[in-house]
Amino acid sequence: MTSELKVELGSNSYPIRFESPAITAIQRVIADLADAGRPSALLTDQGVSSAQASFLRQAFGGIPQLTVTQGEKAKSLEVFGEVQEFLATHHISRQGVLWAVGGGVVGDLGGFAAASYLRGIEFFQVPTTLLAMVDSSVGGKTGLNLAAGKNLVGAFHQPRGVFIDTNFLATLPPREFAAGAAEVIKYGLLGDAELFAQLERAPLTPKSGLLAATIRRCCALKARVVAADERELAAEGGRALLNLGHTFGHAIEQVAGYGTYLHGEAVAIGLVAAARLSQKLGSISAAEVGRIEAVIAAHNLPVRLWSPLALKTLLVATARDKKVRAGQTRFVVLTRLGEAVTRSEGIAPAQVEACFREIGAVDSL
């Protein structure tokens, strides 16, 4: 089954193609590029290379391939340098194209490498995880992690196309699928109350009859938000809303050590913290916080830290968040289930500290 959704960004517009399997469509694009004298190169990771060897061989043939280490640690300056050297070694020109095939890490790494190499070449996203399909492959945010914080190095660089093939999810480890479900829950909370209700009725699974439709639903919501605020410049709301749960979640990832929590696991805990902050601000009830925690737990995701983290260190990490403006941390909070806003004023430090404590942070270790 093939369908298409367009991300409307003027000259930067591109299609999201929902095609299972996507092999033939990718082969056709690579052949057309080659006919136009535009070489392709492939970036993937060890997990995808092992689980999807046949797909990679059939779809991409003999184009140059770089396989990087698996996991969040690949989003580093060191691995970024490896990708740049790979592109240069294979004489990829400014007319060349990079294909990023993998989860959010590969997409972020590949996108930033494409944005930087020769001051910018085109790239395509082929997401292989649920998280990448519903979130990170769409919107053009690329980046690397630093010791000081998550995604502190990067660029806005839109892909020329996204190919979503749900067949990949058949080999996705259960923990990775659950991590992707955290982003699906996020979309329900920030802008689609009916999606949240659907997830309450029946948790999303790899065998769910609504899986493909749910992925498309999330992509459509993100496409609308990105089209309205591509570079996250809106004074309030806008693209920053997509960071619901992420201010808390990114701090957890950094302080725990990248790779301790999958991104979606940290976001899940961050969603709980954001819900509790929303309650403290008087926007939602304790019962609604309970409903959010129940949906997260039903998707096999954590609602509290697995082991304590130091509150002071978490607060320092939060203060380095990319959404800080004029020295104030902006949080995304709920006004109701299915609607969110950005907010910096009127949030007391004690409220943020209380939210961290309620998810398992401690004053000292």
Which pLDDT does position 270 carry in this prediction?
98
DSSP category for residue 69: P
Q: Is residue 363 part of a domain?
A: no
Separation between Cα atoms, residue 252 and residue 309, nearest integer Å: 8
Q: Tell whether the model's pLDDT for residue 126 goes beyond 70.
A: yes
Q: Tell whether the model's pLDDT for residue 153 goes beyond 60.
A: yes
339 in the same domain as 250: yes
Which pLDDT does position 36 carry in this prediction?
98
The model's confidence at residue 323, banded by pLDDT at 50, 70 and 90, is low
Of 173, 91, 180, the C-alpha closest to 127 is: 180
> Is 325 an annotated catalytic residue?
no
Q: pLDDT, tens digit, for every residue of 237-250?
A: 999 999 999 999 99
* Weakest-pLDDT range from 112-116, 269-273, 321-325, 354-358: 321-325
Separation between Cα atoms, residue 80 and residue 183, nearest integer Å: 25
Mean pLDDT score, 43-48: 97
160 in the same domain as 74: yes
Mean pLDDT score, 353-358: 98
221 in the same domain as 160: no
Name the H helices within 11-146: 23-35, 46-51, 53-60, 77-89, 104-116, 130-131
Which pLDDT does position 325 carry in this prediction?
62
86 in the same domain as 72: yes
Q: pLDDT, tens digit, for every residue of 261-277?
A: 999 999 999 999 999 99
Q: Is residue 100 part of a domain?
A: yes
What is the β-pairing status of strands 65-68 and 97-102? unpaired
Q: Tell whether the model's pLDDT for residue 326 goes beyond 60.
A: no
Catalytic residue chosen out of the listed positions 263, 280, 323, 343? 263
Answer for the pair 83, 110: CB distance below 8 angstroms, yes or no. Answer: yes
Residue whose token pair is 């910096």 = 344
Separation between Cα atoms, residue 105 and residue 76, nearest integer Å: 10
Separation between Cα atoms, residue 301 and residue 323, nearest integer Å: 25
Catalytic residue chosen out of the listed positions 17, 157, 217, 250? 250
Mean pLDDT score, 69-96: 97
Catalytic residue chosen out of the listed positions 19, 72, 122, 183? 183
Task: Report the percentage of the chain scoring pLDDT > 70.
Answer: 98
What is the β-pairing status of strands 339-343 and 331-336? antiparallel
Q: Is residue 365 part of a domain?
A: no
Q: Tell whether the model's pLDDT for residue 228 goes beyond 70.
A: yes
Q: Is residue 348 part of a domain?
A: yes
Q: Tell whether the model's pLDDT for residue 147 goes beyond 70.
A: yes
350 in the same domain as 238: yes
35 in the same domain as 124: yes
H or E element that contains 155 = strand 149-156
Which pLDDT does position 329 carry in this prediction?
87
> Is 250 an annotated catalytic residue?
yes
**Pick from 144, 171, 198: which residue ends a domain?**
171
Domains in the chain: how many in total? Answer: 2
What spatial distance separates the first Cα and last Cα of the chain, rounded to whole Å? Answer: 53
The model's confidence at residue 328, banded by pLDDT at 50, 70 and 90, is confident
181 in the same domain as 75: no
Separation between Cα atoms, residue 144 and residue 134, nearest integer Å: 20
Catalytic residue chosen out of the listed positions 246, 299, 330, 343? 246
194 in the same domain as 64: no
Mean pLDDT (the chain, rounded): 96
DSSP category for residue 75: S
Task: Report the percentage of the chain scoring pLDDT > 90.
Answer: 93
Q: Which two tokens stand for residue 14?
A: 């591109």
pTM: 0.95
103 in the same domain as 44: yes
**Pick from 138, 171, 204: which residue ends a domain?**
171
Catalytic residue chosen out of the listed positions 119, 201, 207, 345? 119
Catalytic residue chosen out of the listed positions 17, 157, 217, 222? 222
What is the β-pairing status of strands 14-19 and 2-7? antiparallel
Q: Is residue 264 part of a domain?
A: yes
> Is 239 an annotated catalytic residue?
yes
Residue 43 is part of which domain span?
Answer: 2-171
Separation between Cα atoms, residue 219 and residue 225, nearest integer Å: 10
Residue 361 makes CB contacts below 8 A (sequence gap 6+) with: 305, 308, 309, 310, 311, 314
Catalytic residue chosen out of the listed positions 243, 253, 276, 330? 243
Q: Tell whether the model's pLDDT for residue 286 goes beyond 90.
A: yes
Of 106, 147, 145, the C-alpha closest to 123 is: 106
Give the Cβ contact number of residue 17 at 10 Å.
18
Mean pLDDT score, 59-81: 97
Catalytic residue chosen out of the listed positions 122, 232, 265, 293? 232
Q: Tell whether the model's pLDDT for residue 1 goes beyond 70.
A: no
The model's confidence at residue 344, banded by pLDDT at 50, 70 and 90, is confident
Q: pLDDT, tens digit, for every residue of 199-213?
A: 999 999 999 999 999
92 in the same domain as 219: no
Q: Is residue 11 part of a domain?
A: yes
> Is 119 an annotated catalytic residue?
yes
Residue 141 makes CB contacts below 8 A (sequence gap 6+) with: 108, 111, 151, 154, 156
Q: Is residue 154 part of a domain?
A: yes
Separation between Cα atoms, residue 6 and residue 223, nearest integer Å: 8
Q: Tell whether the model's pLDDT for residue 137 goes beyond 70.
A: yes
Q: Which two tokens stand for residue 72?
A: 């969040």
184 in the same domain as 333: yes
Which is more confident, 146 or 1? 146
Which is more confident, 344 or 351? 351
Separation between Cα atoms, residue 7 and residue 359, nearest integer Å: 36
Q: Which CATH number does the domain housing residue 209 bear?
A: 1.20.1090.10
Separation between Cα atoms, residue 55 and residue 266, nearest integer Å: 30
Q: Which CATH number does the domain housing residue 16 bear?
A: 3.40.50.1970
> Is 232 an annotated catalytic residue?
yes
Catalytic residue chosen out of the listed positions 239, 280, 330, 343? 239
Q: Is residue 364 part of a domain?
A: no
Which pLDDT does position 365 carry in this prediction?
78
289 in the same domain as 203: yes
**Pick from 150, 171, 192: which residue ends a domain?**
171
